[in-house]
Amino acid sequence: TGKIFLCLSSSWFCPRPPASACPPPVFIRQAITFDHGGQTYLDTFYPPRKVTYLSWLGEQFLLEDQWDCPMGGSPQLSCILADTLGVRLLLDHKDIPLPPALILNSSHQLDPWEPHNGEAKLTKVVELFQKEGRERRVQQEISAFLTSLKLRGHHKVVVKICWPSPNPSSSPTFYSTHDPSPVSDAVLDILSEYPEGQAVLLEGFITTVPPRRLKPPQPPACIPRKHGDVMG
């Protein structure tokens, strides 16, 4: 059986050899690996590891040349996975465990996902199409959301700007759940600075759990034999 590796950058692949007479194989020198219990690791391979099948999502840089490696991919799937908000609503609808979230939407980019909007368990969507009273409503929604996060044991909240696909999202920012004012100010700045078309996603931050070292099973304890015991 083989293993699945996740490469997040084209620099993790080995460069194509110059002037190759035949299509060369694909090698990776770095990848995210998956272990038992959902643990992930960033591994570096010495020597580089040969790829037996490549499935691409997003950038298709390897398709420009000929390689001795079967490949496959789906542009439609890439677009779906790039839609952070839509995937969030879909996973929530399917009862996949997720941190609580608040979506402050100022555009119509959620229209294709409306059937899942009202069925989300842990995701609340607030439409902000009307600018009148927007500031007060944002403050109220964020204050209530942070209160619910604290009750669930979350000490931080993650704020992300989500654009309609295929526009890239900016880096997330982190705030304490104990003071809603900085969070509200940051969200209001985002809504006033950027043009219509984006949404703001707030999620409860989950602290990364360090990997647990799996101990090999211990042999059964030896039962001391009493003097005079006879094996039948």
Residue 216 has pLDDT above 80, yes or no: no
Residue 177 has pLDDT above 90, yes or no: yes
What's the whole-number average pLDDT of the chain? 78
Q: Give the pLDDT of residue 36.
A: 66
Whole-model pTM over 0.85: no
Q: Which residues touch 214 (CB under 8 Å, ≥6 apart)?
A: 36, 37
The encoded tokens of residue 7 equal: 């490469």
User: What residues does each domain of the chain span?
Assistant: 5-73, 80-204
DSSP 198: B
Residue 211 has pLDDT above 60, yes or no: no
Q: Which residues touch 98 (CB under 8 Å, ≥6 apart)?
A: 88, 91, 92, 122, 123
Residue 156 has pLDDT above 90, yes or no: yes
Q: Please state which of the ranges 61-70, 167-176, 181-190 shows the lowest mean pLDDT.
A: 61-70
Q: Give the pLDDT of residue 158.
A: 93
Q: Give the pLDDT of residue 227.
A: 58
Q: Which residues pair with 196 in a beta bridge?
A: 198
DSSP 112: G
pLDDT digits (tens, 9 = 90+) for 51-100: 888 887 766 666 666 778 887 777 777 777 777 788 888 888 888 888 89
CA-to-CA distance for 228 and 231, rounded, in angstroms?
Answer: 10
C-alpha separations of 94 from 3, 91, 98, 152 in Å: 27, 5, 11, 21
- Arithmetic mean of pLDDT, 203-208: 84
Q: Which residues pair with 94 in a beta bridge?
A: none
- Cα three-residue angle 176-129-89, rounded to 5 degrees: 60
CA-to-CA distance for 113 and 93, rounded, in angstroms?
Answer: 11
Q: Give the pLDDT of residue 230.
A: 52
pLDDT bucket at 204, cuts 50 / 70 / 90: very high
Q: Which of 126, 123, 124, 120 is nearest to 94 (CA)?
A: 120
Cα Rg for the chain, rounded, in angstroms? 25
- Arithmetic mean of pLDDT, 23-42: 80
Q: Give the pLDDT of residue 228.
A: 57
Determine what percent of the chain is predicted with pLDDT higher than 90: 20
The CB density around residue 142, as the number of other CB atoms within 10 Å, is 26
pLDDT digits (tens, 9 = 90+) for 109-143: 555 555 455 555 888 888 887 778 889 999 999 99
8 A C-beta contact, residue 202 and residue 188: no
Residue 86 is which amino acid?
Answer: G
The encoded tokens of residue 66 equal: 């000929």
CA-to-CA distance for 141 and 124, rounded, in angstroms?
Answer: 10
Residue 125 is which amino acid?
Answer: V
pLDDT bucket at 174, cuts 50 / 70 / 90: very high
